[in-house]
Amino acid sequence: MDAEQLKTLQGHTVDGPLLIKPKVFGDERGWFFESWNQKKFNSAAGENVIFSQDNHSRSVRGVLRGLHYQLDPEPQAKLVRASYGSIFDVAVDIRSESETFGNWVGAELTSSNHHQLWIPEGFAHAFLTLSEVAEVQYKARGFWNKECERAIRWNDPKLNIGWPLERLEGKDVALSEKDGEAPMLKDAQSRGDIFK
């Protein structure tokens, strides 16, 4: 399991998120890879990570979920992968005292590249479905808690996320009502709805 900080991919330089590239063993019969290994992941993340729950979603092309995060007392970290199809996965630094506050990193996660994105606490997360259908699985540290849940607008011009909208083949972005009404980062910040 190789891990690299998202410094050379799309977006900015941000410490915390990691792009995990599992070793895939394949031949004419198919392939095999470890999608999760506690010891290797802890070494890559530099800490002992214990996950609380696994989540699985299915989305059609153009669906954008996020930018989601949870505040104390139940913040969440996520290890995300596309088990079917293709997504553009994004993490935004919303740690108010971070030198990279408001910066984002992104990577394409597909069922063929097997890459995973580690998004620690302190980051908002979103993904855009690029394939006709995608299934996304992620491990979460911290349980879902409606009282702690927050969101930031996906197209906040201050964030200027480089969503690959040209890959939607003419479809519009499809959002939940909650995500469509999410505040801009500056409004979330003025309400104290970011990480200290």
Distance CA 138, CA 131 (A): 18
Yes or no: say if 162 and 10 are a contact pair by the CB < 8 Å rule: yes
Tell me, yes or no, if 68 is annotated catalytic: yes
User: Are the C-beta atoms of residues 141 and 51 closer than 8 Å to each other?
Assistant: yes
Spot the catalytic one: 69, 114, 125, 138: 138
d(CA 78, CA 173): 23
Rg (alpha carbons) of the chain, rounded to whole number: 16
Known catalytic residue at 125: no
Pick the catalytic residue: 68, 69, 114, 125?
68
C-alpha distances (whole Å) from 162 to each of 17, 44, 141, 155 are: 17, 27, 27, 9
Q: Would you state the structure tokens that stand for residue 54, as one six-digit string? A: 């696994």
What sign does the dihedral 25-52-7-169 (CA atoms) show? positive
Q: Which residues are catalytic?
A: 68, 138
